[in-house]
Structure 1
Amino acid sequence: MAVQPWRGAPQPWEQWQPVPSPQAAMRAAHADRERTVDVLKAAYAEGRLGSDEYGQRVDSAYRALTYGELAQLVSDLPSGPMVLPMGGAAPMMPVMPVVPMVPPTFAPPPRPAPTNHLAVASLVLGLFGFLPFGIASVPAVVFGHVAKSQIRGSGEQGDGMATAGAVLGWLGVAFWAMILLLVVAG
């Protein structure tokens, strides 16, 4: 690189020659230049660049036409050459898969845990426990207790339904036991 009389000796970042790649020759967009300036701002704020060098690099960033020129400006900074186009790998860096970061606001809502089927069955049988002969009350109690133990182990939903089914089942058993006692005593 030739010495430019108005600038003095070549700067360290100007002497670095990037690894030739197809991405280095691609034309840079304004957003790419802004990303490079952001890296330079961070380096200046951290004290890695002096004010003169920062000003020169920012001017060079706004004049840069290709990704290679932008990468050259930040190659000696900790953030490294961040200005390669999407999918391009930085020189001498392992290629990492690009995982887009989605803010939680725009992410799909989490799927709720499934509801325990025995809890649903317990609630339904508990509601039918007051029908004649209360035949559904005993299974409602059994299903309610089994569902509660399964829910504790699996993290499923339906704890309230299992409790309500068991309570209704016990009330149904008590109701029919009282009816039976009144019939026998009467």
Structure 2
Amino acid sequence: MIEIQFLESIENLKRNVSQSQGWMPSTEQATSITACLRQGRLFYEAAKSAPLEIRPLELYYGTAAYAKAVVLSVNRARLDALVQSHGVSDRSPTNARLADLSIYIGQRGTFQDFNDCAAELNVIKVMRMSAEFTHFKFPCAKSADLAQKQLTLKEIRLFQNPSGWFGGSSTGVSPAKRILDAR
């Protein structure tokens, strides 16, 4: 596994993106990607010693910085061209219990950009005995299908259950799909 700090070097990052994504970022693009990687790492490191009350925010912003690095690497985008919005917002009632926390998924933002990149990368590569590779692509929701949805933590947990994705019900329609279609 590559240490994140290794990719904070512009030359190391250029080589890695070239090998993994098939394109060579310019120095300007590589500088933006490495800045996002460094920011994400620093947020995660800060979260280790942060008080519990602010640790989730540092972890969130670290994750958002890593997500931007992925978007820049996969989409060949420029940092200043990314939408300056999270793409999700808290819609929880005041004093909500943990299971009732709720988010609203907007039209555009970091969440949507990362989701669409990750949806395309959601592949398992299996090597057969003959040394040939077989690829299995797993279905992922596109951001356009998620836009303007409000979901609770309880509903999101259904998405983590494999039976929620592959049927898992007598109707043959996954619980995850029923929730999205109902909204």
Larger radius of gyration: 1
TM-score by length of 2: 0.23
Higher RCO, 1 vs 2 (CA within 8 Å, ≥6 residues apart):
1
TM-score by length of 1: 0.23
